């Protein structure tokens, strides 16, 4: 593994996405600030805005770092470097996750902090974590589809599918009795069903990333 070249490609992606990253942090801070108003309208608007910002930053970075190289015809140059298919795939997956995950963790930590210090929404603790991880699953889905297919149409389809899945999963999780019955309670609790939901989500992430490496390793031509 040419770690030096992988690192260089990751830093290159970071450089080109530095402005969207900063804007995403600003948007996330504004969203949490709206939630802090303490009103029901502020909670709803802030939550919707926060989810929108998280989805947008994942889409922008993936579209720019993965599909942008083919559209801008820089992929040809990248593949002339001393780098293998595995190393190129590693740089894209690790690079994009290193861009998104710190932002995702920061927003999740901020959201959980607000839940902990606000008794009326204590019941959303488990639900918030499950839905945050679902956003991470959707991001991995779009990243893998973009990397494997190199198609904007399929990548947009994956993004739309991920957004629809977010709504469906949210509905299903909210209707799990052990989670849904406590949503509007004033106690922070973690039922076993929440652990099962997280296990399924992380298994999907592992399957998606593992599948991407497997498919990419079988490619013979990246150009």
Give 61-86 as a DSSP string.
HHIIIIIHHHHTT-HHHHTTSS--HH
pLDDT tens digits, one per residue of 129-146: 999 999 999 999 999 998
Instruction: Spell 179-218 as b/e; 16+ CB within 10 A means b.
Output: beebeeeeebeeeebbeebbeebeebbeebbeebeeebee
Packing angle of the helix pair 85-117, 3-16 (nearest 10 deg): 50
Indicate whether 170 belongs to any domain: yes
Indicate whether 27 belongs to any domain: no
Indicate whether 43 belongs to any domain: no
Full-model pTM: 0.87
Predicted confidence (pLDDT) at residue 155 exceeds the cutoff of 90: no
Indicate whether 68 belongs to any domain: yes
Predicted confidence (pLDDT) at residue 24 exceeds the cutoff of 90: no
Predicted confidence (pLDDT) at residue 69 exceeds the cutoff of 70: no
Higher pLDDT, 79 or 21: 21
Q: Domain limits at 11?
A: 3-17+60-217
Predicted confidence (pLDDT) at residue 114 exceeds the cutoff of 90: no
Contact at 8 Å (CB) between 90 and 214? no
């Amino acid at each position: 593994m040419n770690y030096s070249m992988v690192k260089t490609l990751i830093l290159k992606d970071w450089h080109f996405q530095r402005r969207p990253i900063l804007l995403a942090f600003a948007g996330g801070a504004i969203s949490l600030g709206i939630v802090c108003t303490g009103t029901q309208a502020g909670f709803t608007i802030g939550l919707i805005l926060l989810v929108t910002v998280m989805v947008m930053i994942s889409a922008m970075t993936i579209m720019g770092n993965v599909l942008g190289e083919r559209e801008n015809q820089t992929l040809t140059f990248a593949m002339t470097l001393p780098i293998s298919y595995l190393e190129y795939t590693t740089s894209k997956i690790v690079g994009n996750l290193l861009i998104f995950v710190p932002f995702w963790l920061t927003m999740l930590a901020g959201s959980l902090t607000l839940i902990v210090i606000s008794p009326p929404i204590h019941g959303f603790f488990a639900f918030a974590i499950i839905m945050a991880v679902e956003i991470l699953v959707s991001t991995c889905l779009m990243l893998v589809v973009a990397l494997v297919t190199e198609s904007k149409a399929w990548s947009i389809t994956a993004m739309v599918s991920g957004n629809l899945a977010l709504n469906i999963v949210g509905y299903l999780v909210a209707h799990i009795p052990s989670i849904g019955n406590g949503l509007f309670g004033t106690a922070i609790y973690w039922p076993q069903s929440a652990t099962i939901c997280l296990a399924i989500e992380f298994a999907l992430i592992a399957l998606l990333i593992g599948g991407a490496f497997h498919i990419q390793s079988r490619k013979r031509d990246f150009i």
